Structure 1
């Protein structure tokens, strides 16, 4: 039985969609919530954009050579949510989504780089994507890889089984609420572990959870 693999990769914005926009507005941040392939020639992202001058960013997006359609879905004071069609500089996206049947879980663009978290159906699909990029002259910097087996499946974000159980039980029992719904001693008794072991599991679990979700958005984090 094959095991799905999640990889965090870095791609220069100059080799990816929206390179024109990043060149004109280098201070922007782009956060993709969903990215699907419409066909072999186009992809449709749902993307949050943040920047000091959102009107200028929108003008740049409408003039971007990789964008054919643009629709504002939400306009907040400091960010906007767009639905758009990408039609250029998306060879890698199409390869991942259609040829390797991968899923782009999220993507974040800032400071001249895109950082993508991708789930491949098997490790060979990641290797094939790396080879594809080399053949096409594209950059594909792999920063993190982890396999999603039975004890650390995709929904656990790199947590061990013990850390997963400790965190979910703590949340269910109101341990993180203010005021707390249960004490550390009571929670440890529920899990059959000491207060010290509980504290260690929660601390390590929270660190793994943050590294697997939040820190992948920061291109400056190793």
Structure 2
């Protein structure tokens, strides 16, 4: 049975983690990817930072061979990265075990990874490979995607669903709003930028699922 799992990883144990020392308010989100043994995750977003030279903050990372800015709009920046071939870490564990990445969001506190396997054994293989690579992941949530799951629930990651439910319960979508995004972040234990990212991605997924006649924008 298809299974989804949520793992966390200390911020400094992922290649991009040291950047938070210079950009503590930033949120980094990896573009979701279907594993390929020929390439690691090639794109990621940096949100919550207004600068004309965002790629310069990543240029000295030893795990990165080359990085370039693809697009930038206000405080959101899309970058393409070429990883060093000799780097062993959680991304290699994903590609080597063929476990798809659903979502990965990093803050100065930690990284949160949502992955999905065809069955529970895929998740176990991924955990085992991380242990072999000395990647200190912590399992936070594990649940099967059963046939009784609604289509809407199935398209949301657990962090997206948690953020949307909390925002709705606390009155974030009321007019006027009964709670701020910063207050939601305090309750979830994440930054305001991370809350914004989860709400935006979750709403995007819900609209694409419930309004199939709409035309989605091209993926970056």
Query: Under a length normalisation based on structure 2, what TM-score does the superposition of the two structures give?
Result: 0.63
In 2: Cα distance, 1:70 partner to 1:142 partner: 30
The structure 2 residue matched to 1:27, chosen from 25, 43, 68, is 25
Quote the Cα distance in structure 1 between the aligned partners of 2:164 and 2:92.
24
Give 1:94's aligned residue.
Answer: 92
Structure that is richer in strand per residue: 1
Partner of 2:13: 15
With 46-55 and 4-13 compared, the bigger mean Cα shift is at 46-55
SS at match of 1:63: coil
1:135 paired to 2:132? yes
1:210 alignment counterpart? 161
Give the direction of change, closer, same or farther, for the CA distance of 1:123–1:38 in structure 2 (3 Å limit): closer
Deviation at 1:104, TM superposition (A): 0.3
- Partner Cα separation in structure 1 for residue 108 and residue 165 of structure 2: 17
Residue ranges of structure 2 left out of the alignment (5+ in a row): 167-184, 191-220
Say whether residues 1:118 and 2:115 are aligned partners: yes
Give the counterpart of 1:49 among 25, 46, 53: 46
Cα distance in 2, alignment partners of residues 79 and 149 from structure 1: 35
Look at both structures and tell me which one has the larger radius of gyration over its CA atoms: 1
Contact 2:2 2:120 in 1 (8 A): yes
Is this contact kept in 1: 2:3–2:119, CA < 8 A?
yes
Q: CA deviation at 1:22?
A: 2.6
TM-score of the pair, normalised by structure 1: 0.63
Alignment gaps of 5+ in structure 1: 160-206
